Chains A and B, each alone.
Chain A
């Protein structure tokens, strides 16, 4: 490694931004509607996804309020079924997923690899509009006769057929999911093409930031998994309206086939949701520890391994059906713990002997580590069929995946605090951020941990009342308190946006970042860069700013040990 200060490549003389910004025609709302700029589309994604989070969160609060007493009549049984169905659907399909691969990914991935935009900007715009129309379609179920879909977010056949669920809310659910599914597929195509073809000179695959790597694997998983869901949804629609009998016993069909199709998409989907947030957390931990990602290549291989294994574990959701080969799906599911564990230790290794700065983003990342650890360890139980028989469809499972998803939410919030200044040009208030973190972190533990116990005491999921089990009341009330704390954290976040609105300019590189997005202006110009540094590692901006501190090849043989203070 040479410690030479490379001059940056000049792409566009600085000061020409007016010309770049202005000649693009419409302004205001027309600009927003017609834009193909990945940053504007990404921001639309972000805002829409956060609105979905608020809607889904409101459903959650009603659900938790209903469960505070065993015989509560706040909502009817029918309304309760709609609420948890739409809570799950909105959170998984309309918030976490699009936020993971549509929002920050759209904005950051092209910049991290030094590209001017996504490979197919118009397709990218189509993705967003499909996502928005799909979301509206799904939610409009609340306004039709019979109400929204009420068969759970997994829509198990034959409960989801036209006899058991006749309402058009179910059709709107299917239609909305088809639209957002296509949106995801197009985004997958776009991310793959962008990463494979638009990398800047010098940006080899093994110099890509971990966030971009994770989005690449996510995109490949999207391309493998989402078409299966789309096909399944079309089959379901045909069963409901065109007289086919794919999932009906009466016509010679097999209901359990839906579960296979759904989970063949559904388990990769878990990693489609998780990997982008793993990437965000990796970037945040490295930057705020002022160290390179520990075990960078191991991290990449762990991501690829997770992606590969995730395609062979779907039937662990179906252990209790009695029609799947238990040992195969058990060992495959257990093995996912290994690359996930590697990631965990790499994150810790990145912090080790670093200079850890507890900004809000870093607090969120640490909150992610702890919450994800809880969710990950309880996931190992569920990979063991006998223990799955014991806990399946109880609150233990509910608690497990809420630990995981709430960890992802912390990752998302970390990502917003980390990249928000880059996207908007203004800092978010750190005090509000830290208040938000503590409400979110403590609230998450208070609402998930009692649910593990409830599951172990036999409380099934998706029940609105529990008249025979008054002993479950107390833990449910604790859980509700936790959910309220999480709700307060969202309010604090909203308040922070208002308080920080165009207040403190961020500057180009507020966190002393590692990757290319911190080399350009905040917000970046229309085609992202006026100049690029030489790309010699996965940390081009760091290398440019700290020429004496490139990463050591091996922990034992670091070429330099000087700890020069930086101005």
Chain B
């Protein structure tokens, strides 16, 4: 991490949402600098196979990824160099017995202490991104996501809107851009994985446990999502899409869907008593951090 230079101290943006992170504030200042520097130099730092993604969190995860990768390339490259050096230059040339050296305490201390420092640096950077990612700021929109074998149900509480889809008719989760979207994630049967590649994020949907997190998309678009935790026969087909739209489009869609749902409900109500189309909100559990 610390290998990154060209630091601009004022590049720090205020981000403390939870006062839990207060005690890390000083630490954060130290470790955010390289991350901020990476963010500024975004186009020059290689992607290392990842992408910034479409949410605020996915971007910080991406920068963390770049930081870890720089460390990995330096440490791995150095170690590989040593291995190849030994392999090339110390290959057997004679039957001589080499010097039987066994201990070199200063050297051993060095390669104990430096990894400890690297690990602490990585941990500090991890904490900064993690605290931001798992924080639950005030949200504008709530979506209840329920996973089941083998599909997804997206409920917009209070809006009388439910989107359900299984295997091939992949359901679409519509969410507005630039708003904090609070997700309540549950499962009806087995463990599933809610994973959206463009969000650089996944979370298990566990039976009996309510998992909560916040997504804040910064780009509109349609993104593929898929169940990542083996859930039985049709696990391979348990896909969904996330469609991030502008706030006005979102409101329009919501109203339209609510009207359709109301009309449908009125139609079926004449024949039979239907249960409420909006599932009850799952009980709050102690899950979370």
Contacts and interface: CB of A to CB of B under 8 A. Distances in A.
A18 interface: no
A131 B230 CA distance: 28
A377 B122 CA distance: 12
B166 interface: no
29 contacts: A77-B234, A77-B236, A156-B229, A290-B98, A297-B103, A325-B289, A330-B126, A348-B83, A351-B87, A353-B98, A353-B99, A355-B93, A358-B92, A374-B76, A380-B68, A381-B72, A386-B133, A387-B65, A390-B65, A393-B228, A394-B195, A456-B49, A458-B195, A460-B193, A461-B230, A462-B230, A552-B100, A554-B105, A565-B95
A369 interface: yes
A320 B108 contact: no
A321 B57 CA distance: 18
A392 B202 CA distance: 7
Contacts of B209: 256, 321-323
Interface stretch (B109-117, B252-260, B263-271): B109-117
Given A355-B90, A393-B228, A468-B224, A370 B112 contact: no
Nearest to A538: B102
Contacts of B60: 386
Interface of A: 77-78, 80-81, 151-152, 156, 158-159, 164, 249, 254-256, 289-298, 320-323, 325-327, 330-331, 334-335, 337-338, 341-342, 344-346, 348-349, 351-358, 366, 369-370, 373-374, 377-378, 380-381, 384-387, 389-390, 392-394, 452-453, 456-458, 460-466, 468-469, 546, 549-556, 558, 561, 563-566
Contacts of B123: 327, 330-331, 334, 384
Contact of B206 (A152, A321, A348, A468): A321
A255 B90 contact: no
B163 interface: no
B102 A292 contact: yes
B180 interface: no
Nearest to A363: B87
B289 A460 contact: no
A356 B90 contact: yes
Contacts of A462: 230, 235-236
A385 B200 CA distance: 12
Contacts of B203: 320, 322, 389
B134 interface: yes
Contacts of B100: 291-292, 549-552, 558
A291 B231 contact: no
Nearest to B50: A456
Interface residues of B, number: 84
Interface of B: 49-50, 57, 60-61, 64-65, 68, 72, 75-76, 79-80, 82-83, 86-87, 90-105, 107-108, 111-112, 115-116, 119, 122-123, 125-127, 129-130, 133-134, 189-191, 193, 195, 197, 200-204, 206-209, 211-213, 224, 226-237, 239, 287-289
B112 A390 contact: no
B191 A159 contact: yes
A386 B204 contact: no
Contacts of A386: 57, 60-61, 64, 126, 129-130, 133
B101 A558 contact: yes
B99 A341 contact: no
Contacts of B93: 355
A458 B112 contact: no
A384 B126 contact: yes
Given A334-B122, A566-B97, A159 B76 contact: no
Given A334-B126, A357-B91, 6 more contacts: A322-B287, A322-B288, A325-B289, A345-B79, A355-B92, A389-B133
Interface centre among B96, B134, B224, B229 (most CB of A within 10 A): B229
B230 A81 contact: yes
A355 B95 CA distance: 8
Contacts of B97: 290, 355, 546, 549, 563-566
Contacts of B112: 298, 338, 342
A251 to B, nearest CB: 11
A296 B108 CA distance: 11
A433 B123 CA distance: 42
